[in-house]
Chain A
Amino acid sequence: MFETARYEATQRLRWTVGLTASVSLYIVFLLSYFQSLPKEQLRSAVDAIPQVMLEVFGIVELSTIEGWLAAEVYSFVVIWALGIYFAYTAAGLIADDIEHARMDLLLLLPFSRSRLLAEKFVSLFVPIITVNGALVVVIYVAALGIGESVDPVRLVMAHVLAIPYLLICSAIGIYLSTLYNRVTVAQRIGAGIIVVLNTIRFVASGTGQSWIAYISPRAYYDPSSILINGSYDVVSTFILLIATVVLVFLSQRRFQRRDING
């Protein structure tokens, strides 16, 4: 069981370490930058940012460590950068093997196509969990390093609940991976969809169609409210997990039926 997931995850170990290290370094930089900025200036900056931008980038406040983390680290790094990154990576899971003729040998191994797809998806748990686990430690320690403190429970919850968000981004990616023969097409569309879904709240409020916002995974993961108010919604997390399962299932169905052209 899970031989393929283990093999794929092993292939991604170096990549996982690189991702975790670069994101950690960036966060240390963001926190030291926060320390150097006059807090009064940050308060007036929020007033100067247009409401639309505040909504798109999830900015509530910038002058407290929690507000700064929510806006700079969670909105930009977790929701935008990692969301796009995992959708992009997952979009390569199937299409890349087909385009580079690796799928033929994989599909002659004695397991089903559904299982192959599921195991490839599961292999992404390793980087998703590793980067989130590392960020909890890095942010906690870095905050202490600049003389601030972050509630460890809120910090842990912000990352635990980031996992379903990154899983749904990955599920969108893997579904696209079963639709396209060319990996770059699947990956670009995957990244594009995350951008659209992250800005859809703006479209929703602009058109008066507020329900549109609920299409976006972002409606179900709100790091600002976790970090600033300590509140979170378990139902939203379940919605993300169920949507992930549904998308992976649809990907399996699609992959089962498609021709693998050489």
Chain B
Amino acid sequence: MTAITVTDLTKDYGSVLGVDSLSFTVEKGEIFGFLGPNGAGKTTTIRTILGLLDPTTGTASVLGADVSDEDAFIDVKQRIGYLPAELGFNEAVTGNALLNYYATVKGDQRRTELLESFKPPLDQPIREYSSGNKQLLGIIQAFMHDPDLVVMDEPTSGLDPLNQAQFNEFIRDETANGTTIFFSSHVLSEVRRVCDRVGILREGRLVGLEDIESLVNRGGKRVRVQVIDGEDMDLSAIDGVIDITSMGDETQFTYAGDYTTLCRQLANYEILDVEISEPPLEDVFMHYYGETKPYVTSDSGEQANV
């Protein structure tokens, strides 16, 4: 069963093409990451599949309803939660007043439970909220009516690391309970930690669609080798070695080849230290973007020793 089906979706703004012939599906119960640099068309895609933008051509259906058919989509909206990238709230009201209004329209079966995990200052007017607290309020409103599908656009922006970790754990629990999560991000490490499958968007086109494991494997490993002083090391001839850099007695490179070959080659040197780790996801991402480095961020603590 699919939660979201997008078929040949194009959104043309006239002066610029927002997304171009996009096709993908999101299965029920999965966490689907939608990855791309700013301006790649992630938000346009999300806004189109939520009926905020009308597709120029192509179709999108969410939980079985065509998003262009407003009547059919009204019932489905009851089962969707949405956390937009730019959270717009009526700043004059308190968080409680806003949630009370949402509750009268879409229900609030899970409000109390959510407030145990996420604690924005609900008695204060929203204008006094920090961006992190606004984001917490956004998360509560997205999940309060127990939706089957939650669409989130850059959900962890504004959250401090503690809240981010709590949020990541929370959405994993949600999918364990059957909720489908569609999650856009330009932060690779975040997608890596949370998602099952990932779609990669570049200039409005889908350039990759695979499970997260394959994505990481495709990027190869980061290898750092330290040899004894004075030894001259040249590994550039080995098949699968790319992006090689040397500094003093230390050489770093990305390796996408066979480990046995690498070990045999390394055995020719007096090795002091070897570290093979997962690559920063920018490197994985570069695979899809070629030479032009996109604007992406990733935290530096990504590498894990293997």
Residues of A within 8 A of B (CB): 3-4, 7, 11, 97, 100-105, 107-113, 256-257, 259-262
Q: Which residues on B sit within 8 Å (CB–CB) of A112?
A: 70-71, 74
Q: Which residues on A sit within 8 Å (CB–CB) of B108?
A: none
Asked whether A110 and B52 contact (CB < 8 A) given A7-B101, A11-B93, the answer is no
Find B50's partner among A100, A108, A256 (CB 8 Å cutoff). Answer: A108
Q: Which residues on A sit within 8 Å (CB–CB) of B71?
A: 112
Q: Does A105 lie within 8 Å of B141, measured CB to CB?
A: yes
Q: Does A104 lie within 8 Å of B52, measured CB to CB?
A: yes
B82-106 vs A: 1/0 string, CB under 8 Å? 1011111110110000000110111
Query: For window 137-177 of chain B, which residues contact chain A by CB distance below 8 Å?
Result: 141
Q: Does A101 lie within 8 Å of B105, measured CB to CB?
A: no
Q: For the complex, give the distance between the alpha carbons of A74 and B93 in Å.
A: 34
Q: Does A101 lie within 8 Å of B88, measured CB to CB?
A: yes
| Chain B residue at minimal CB-CB distance from A260 | B52
In the assembled complex, 10 residue pairs joining A and B whose CB atoms fall closer than 8 Å, in A order, are: A11-B90, A100-B88, A101-B87, A105-B141, A108-B50, A110-B77, A111-B105, A256-B70, A260-B47, A262-B85
| Cβ distance B83 to chain A, nearest Cβ, rounded Å | 9
| Cβ distance B217 to chain A, nearest Cβ, rounded Å | 35
Q: For the complex, give the distance between the alpha carbons of A260 and B52 in Å.
A: 5
Q: Which residues on B sit within 8 Å (CB–CB) of A256?
A: 70
| Cβ distance B218 to chain A, nearest Cβ, rounded Å | 32
Q: A4-B101, A105-B89 are in contact. List 12 more A-B contacts (CB 8 A).
A: A7-B101, A11-B92, A104-B47, A104-B52, A104-B82, A104-B86, A107-B51, A108-B77, A108-B80, A110-B77, A256-B70, A260-B53
Q: Does B77 lie within 8 Å of A3, measured CB to CB?
A: no
At the interface, yes or no: B10 with Cβ under 8 Å from chain A? no
Q: Does A105 lie within 8 Å of B88, measured CB to CB?
A: yes
| Cβ distance B69 to chain A, nearest Cβ, rounded Å | 11
At the interface, yes or no: B273 with Cβ under 8 Å from chain A? no
Find B88's partner among A11, A102, A259, A261 (CB 8 Å cutoff). Answer: A102
Q: Which residues on A sit within 8 Å (CB–CB) of B105?
A: 3-4, 109-111
| Chain B residue at minimal CB-CB distance from A7 | B101
Q: For the complex, give the distance between the alpha carbons of A256 and B106 in Å.
A: 21
Q: Which residues on A sit within 8 Å (CB–CB) of B252?
A: none
Q: Does B74 lie within 8 Å of A110, measured CB to CB?
A: yes
At the interface, yes or no: B291 with Cβ under 8 Å from chain A? no
Q: Does A104 lie within 8 Å of B80, measured CB to CB?
A: no
Q: Which residues on A sit within 8 Å (CB–CB) of B70?
A: 112-113, 256
Q: For the complex, give the distance between the alpha carbons of A97 and B91 in Å.
A: 12
Q: Which of B51, B101, B102 gathers most chain A CB within 10 Å?
A: B101
Q: Does A105 lie within 8 Å of B84, measured CB to CB?
A: yes
| Chain A residue at minimal CB-CB distance from B11 | A259
| Chain A residue at minimal CB-CB distance from B52 | A260
Q: Which 4 A-B pairs have the closest CB atoms?
A: A101-B88, A102-B88, A110-B78, A3-B104
At the interface, yes or no: B75 with Cβ under 8 Å from chain A? yes
At the interface, yes or no: B43 with Cβ under 8 Å from chain A? yes
| Chain A residue at minimal CB-CB distance from B85 | A262
| Cβ distance A259 to chain B, nearest Cβ, rounded Å | 5
| Cβ distance A53 to chain B, nearest Cβ, rounded Å | 41
At the interface, yes or no: B54 with Cβ under 8 Å from chain A? yes
Q: Which residues on A sit within 8 Å (CB–CB) of B89?
A: 102, 105
Find B53's partner among A7, A101, A259 (CB 8 Å cutoff). Answer: A259
Q: For the complex, give the distance between the alpha carbons of A75 and B43 in Å.
A: 49
Query: For window 33-75 of chain B, which residues contact chain A by CB distance below 8 Å?
Result: 43, 47, 50-54, 70-71, 74-75
Q: Which residues on A sit within 8 Å (CB–CB) of B90?
A: 11, 102
| Cβ distance B194 to chain A, nearest Cβ, rounded Å | 22
| Chain B residue at minimal CB-CB distance from A14 | B92
Q: For the complex, give the distance between the alpha carbons of A258 and B77 in Å.
A: 19
Q: Does A104 lie within 8 Å of B101, measured CB to CB?
A: no
| Cβ distance B235 to chain A, nearest Cβ, rounded Å | 48
Q: Which residues on B sit within 8 Å (CB–CB) of A103?
A: 88
Q: For the complex, give the distance between the alpha carbons of A62 and B71 in Å.
A: 56
